[in-house]
Amino acid sequence: MRWMLLLCLSLSLPALADLDYALSPRQIAEDTWLLEGSTDNFAKANGGNIVNTAFIVTTQGVVVIDSGPSKRYGEAMRKAIAAVTDKPVIQLLLTHHHPDHVLGNQAFSDVPIGALPGTTVLLQQQGDAMAENMYRMVGDWMRGTEVVLPTQALAPGVNRFGNHDLQLLSLGGHTGADLAILDQKTGVLFAGDLVFYQRALTTPNSPGLSVWLADIATLQGLPWTQVVPGHGPVANDARPFEQMRDYLAWLDQLLRDGAANGSDMGEMIRSPIPERFAAINLSRYELIRSVSHLYPRYEREQMKRIDAASNGQ
């Protein structure tokens, strides 16, 4: 039995050794580095690396923005940072609780892990289930990954890290607790998943598309010079905001009209997608998910209470 176990282990080691995120930091502004993920869905081929993470090398030390989808990713991120600077990591900031942004936290357990209080609550409630789902979707990339909760509650305002003043904004359109970060030194806006660009947005925890639209207006009104979306390419113009506003408004009207017309969920998920969104990756896939997440809410808004109707007669 022992030799069979050793044989199985030896056969599995090369496969595990091949699980390399090959993270390559790209400098996008002074002291600022991006690790850009794909705009695809979670898959064993990408190890869940569909997210944009980043770090800022300040005179005090390195500030990291989001830790990625697994312990292995977080460890690879630490190595990538060390290849750029010998300054220590001093802070991890989490934009929200979704697994691709927080399941690398184990690799940063030696520094403060900051998040909005609502993010901590959501991660505490949903983290284990999200991690289990990630194990199912990306397999061995997740080996050893466990949920690590934030250790520091963040509040809106300006926090100084060495020579960089970071403005923290507490918003909520994507999950109800969404942190956006504006580096006042460089003008780089880390929008988290409040902004998707060239990749269809996800809605599992959204409190409502009107809330999200208001957040987009808030972000666009900031004095940014570059926008780092949670998913998709970096931009130095307003196109990510314009695309988000257009898509959110279309989705909201689609669901509103469907509910008013009495359309069922099956009809809604087959709705035609406008040609202007054809280049946005995973549009059909995410429309199906958004209908399942949001449409019941729109249907309830169309329903009249029988007792209320009777009282009005």
- pLDDT tens for each residue of 4-13: 433 343 344 3
CA 180 to each of CA 126, 167, 299: distance values in angstroms, whole numbers, following the listed order: 21, 8, 31
| 206: in domain | yes
CA gap 125, 303 in Å, rounded: 31
The pLDDT of residue 168 is above 70: yes
CA gap 176, 178 in Å, rounded: 6
| 273: in domain | no
- The pLDDT value recorded for residue 4 is 40
| 274: in domain | no
- The pLDDT value recorded for residue 18 is 80
Neighbours of 96 (CB within 10 A): 27
The answer to whether the pTM exceeds 0.75 is yes
| 61: in domain | yes
Helices 239-261 and 209-220: angle between axes, nearest 10 degrees: 160
How many Cα atoms within 13 Å fall on the side-chain side of residue 131?
Answer: 21
CA 238 to each of CA 170, 175, 202, 246: distance values in angstroms, whole numbers, following the listed order: 21, 23, 20, 12
| 244: in domain | no
- The pLDDT value recorded for residue 50 is 97
Q: Count of domains in the chain? A: 1
User: 208 lies in which domain range?
Assistant: 20-238
| 301: in domain | no
CA 250 to each of CA 62, 128, 198, 244, 264: distance values in angstroms, whole numbers, following the listed order: 40, 34, 16, 10, 18
- 3 state SS of 236: coil
| 138: in domain | yes
- The pLDDT value recorded for residue 15 is 55
- DSSP3 helix / strand / coil % (the chain, rounded to 5): 40, 20, 35
Find the CATH number of the domain harbouring 105.
Answer: 3.60.15.10
| 272: in domain | no
Average pLDDT over residues 230-248: 98
Average pLDDT over residues 248-271: 97
**Percent of the chain surpassing pLDDT 90:** 90
CA gap 200, 205 in Å, rounded: 15
Residue 17: which pLDDT band, with cuts at 50, 70 and 90? low
- The pLDDT value recorded for residue 304 is 65
The pLDDT of residue 279 is above 60: yes
- The pLDDT value recorded for residue 129 is 97
- The pLDDT value recorded for residue 311 is 52
The pLDDT of residue 137 is above 90: yes
Look at 16-25, 107-116, 232-241 and tell me which has the smallest mean pLDDT.
16-25
- The pLDDT value recorded for residue 219 is 98
Residue 16: which pLDDT band, with cuts at 50, 70 and 90? low
**Percent of the chain surpassing pLDDT 70:** 91
- 3 state SS of 193: strand
